Structure 1
Amino acid sequence: MNPKTTPAALQAQVSGSSFYAGMRVLPKAEREAMYAVYAFCRAVDDIADDQQGDRTSRHTALDAWRHDIDALYAGQEPGRAELVAEAVRHFQLDRADFHAVIDGMAMDVVDDVRWPDFATLDLYCDRVASAVGRLSVKIFGMEDADGVKLAHHLGRALQFTNILRDIDEDAAIGRVYLAREHLEQAGVDLSSPAAVAADPRLDRPARDLAALAHEHYAAAHAILKRRPKGHLIAPRLMGAVYEKILTRMEEVGWGPPRRRIKVNKAALLFTVARLWLLR
């Protein structure tokens, strides 16, 4: 086994992330599968965000991942995709979802995403977030009908929240993930990512996206409230924690200068304990 794909090595990659608490409450097999999926996502995300590499080399690196994923499903030598091999075998994960994640990262490589129309933004979120959710709900043991819907809604909700939290960091690398329609309606200056981030009118389009995020959180909560089959503490936790972050951002607004809202570790541990007791 590649030492980088052992459970301990994968856990080390995940331990610094905000998703770690949600993963560690899972049973061993599910937990290690989620570590592997997260490590895959981190690997391809690092390629997309590599500010030192040129676009051609980053495309080549993503294509290499596609090749390795295809080799894994064809029963050939999987190369770096070995890290998800056990998860794929154990939980029958869909190759299309791995490809979707890679395709989402490729959208950032083709050209830095800047104020896309909402349809393109939604496609991006489906690929980089809801596709990860579709892999996750299989690991959680959910049935397809509820699992796919939960992945759709919770994936969008979490990604919209991340977009709203990372406005300044994204603008610093030449990206703006807010929808063109919302920005234009507010009269925001679209001359550059820096101009968007500095525009005092940015609060309105940010709140437009926040409202959509709340709709997706509500839909996800409705699914989880029905108590469908599966290990549901992890998605419950992510929804609860990130919706609180969204609410805190709404309280302070998105007008510049902004301060980044962080996960409160004490509150996170309290939420984990509460969800565990109420499961």
Structure 2
Amino acid sequence: MNPKTTPAALRAQVSGSSFYAGMRVLPRAEREAMYAVYAFCRAVDDIADDQQGDRAARAAALDQWRTDIAALYTGGDAGQAALVAEAVTRFDLDRADFDAVIDGMATDVDRDVRWPSAAELDLYCDRVASAVGRLSVRIFGMAPAPGIALAHHLGRALQLTNILRDIDEDAAIGRVYLPAELLEGAGMALTTPAEVVADRRIDPAARALAKQAHDHYVEANAILAARPRGHLIAPRLMAAAYAKVLTRMEAAGWAPPRTRIRVSKLGLLWTVVRLSLTR
């Protein structure tokens, strides 16, 4: 991260994350670019999740990010978007993907997302996760076709895993991301977030979503197994680590009370060693 363009608090968030440990395997230029992209994602995500700010102020903050990203690409004053300027130039990152991430965060600002349709959830996952993947695969040096496919599947796999991990935390702020079709298919009434996540029938609904996540991991791993060009150890690491989290959640189940499963930094380091030996 460039200390001249990345606020100190944001640098601390990035360096303390499991993502930081995972990206340390990259060469320096790619690593710094990924940290910059992640810092951007953290900044807009913090706006979306700010429960102290009113919706209008949070929407205005996201709009300022849109303005700064636009200025970055048109040669104006990039403002806070300066933190990704070097990455954009070096790796020819697509403005549309930054805009998509902001659009995804705006979804959480516009309203508390509760039991979206499957199609709405898929669009949300594309914006907040696969768009980040599309930025990432350019940095990894992947060719367009396998890169976009990997971003599609791995982004959705990781986001669905996060949704399944954060059920209680999301419900506490009025959100339930599990799709209506799965909840109603399990016989649940869509009443309030607190009542929905306290219902033991959430377990089969969550397991159905976990199956979708596994399917995306399978597709992502097939792309990685074909060994397309690029720095692939980072996406291989994220796929391996988060698929393991998903498997641990399945073993524990989603019936209340739930225990939040976390990514182990020590486990990440071991996975780095293992993947380094087998690539």
TM over 0.5: yes
Give % identity.
74
The match for 2:108 is: 108
The superposition leaves residues 217-274 of structure 1 with CA deviations (integer Å, 9 ceiling, x where unpaired) of: 0000000000000000000000000000000100010000000011233322111101
The answer to whether 1:230 aligns with 2:230 is yes
Give the secondary-structure state (helix, strand or coil) at the position aligned to 2:220. Answer: helix
Q: Once the 2 structures are TM-superposed, how far is the Cα of residue 189 of structure 1 from its aligned partner?
A: 3.1
Contact 2:202–2:255 (CA under 8 A) maintained in structure 1: yes
Give the structure-2-normalised TM-score: 0.97
Contact 1:14–1:39 (CA under 8 A) maintained in structure 2: yes
Matches for 1:10-159 after TM superposition, within 5 Å: 12-159=12-159
CA distance in 1, matches of 2:166, 2:16: 18
Contact 2:10–2:42 (CA under 8 A) maintained in structure 1: no
CA distance in 1, matches of 2:4, 2:158: 28
Q: Which amino acid aligns with 2:137?
A: V
The answer to whether 1:194 aligns with 2:156 is no
Q: Which amino acid aligns with 1:52?
A: Q
Q: Name structure 1 gaps, 5 residues minimum.
A: none
Q: Once the 2 structures are TM-superposed, how far is the Cα of residue 21 of structure 1 from its aligned partner?
A: 1.9
* Cα-Cα RMSD: 1.6
Q: Which amino acid aligns with 2:228?
A: P
Contact 1:48–1:105 (CA under 8 A) maintained in structure 2: yes
Residues 91/118 of structure 1: CA separation in 2 closer, same or farther (3 Å cut) = same
Q: Name structure 2 gaps, 5 residues minimum.
A: none
Q: Which amino acid aligns with 2:68?
A: D
Contact 2:10–2:43 (CA under 8 A) maintained in structure 1: no
Contact 1:121–1:177 (CA under 8 A) maintained in structure 2: yes
Contact 2:21–2:265 (CA under 8 A) maintained in structure 1: no
The match for 2:176 is: 176
CA distance in 2, matches of 1:8, 1:143: 34
Q: Once the 2 structures are TM-superposed, how far is the Cα of residue 10 of structure 1 from its aligned partner?
A: 6.5
The match for 2:262 is: 262
Give the secondary-structure state (helix, strand or coil) at the position aligned to 1:168. Answer: helix
CA distance in 1, matches of 2:8, 2:169: 30
Range moving further from structure 2, 269-278 or 92-101: 269-278
* Count, aligned residues: 279
Give the secondary-structure state (helix, strand or coil) at the position aligned to 2:201. Answer: helix
CA distance in 2, matches of 1:142, 1:222: 15
Give the secondary-structure state (helix, strand or coil) at the position aligned to 1:245. Answer: helix
Q: Which amino acid aligns with 2:160?
A: F
Contact 1:113–1:177 (CA under 8 A) maintained in structure 2: yes
Give the structure-1-normalised TM-score: 0.97
CA distance in 1, matches of 2:135, 2:204: 34
The superposition leaves residues 9-45 of structure 1 with CA deviations (integer Å, 9 ceiling, x where unpaired) of: 8754312112112211000000000000000000000
Structure 1 residue ranges, 4+ long, deviating more than 3 angstroms after superposition: 6-13
The match for 1:251 is: 251
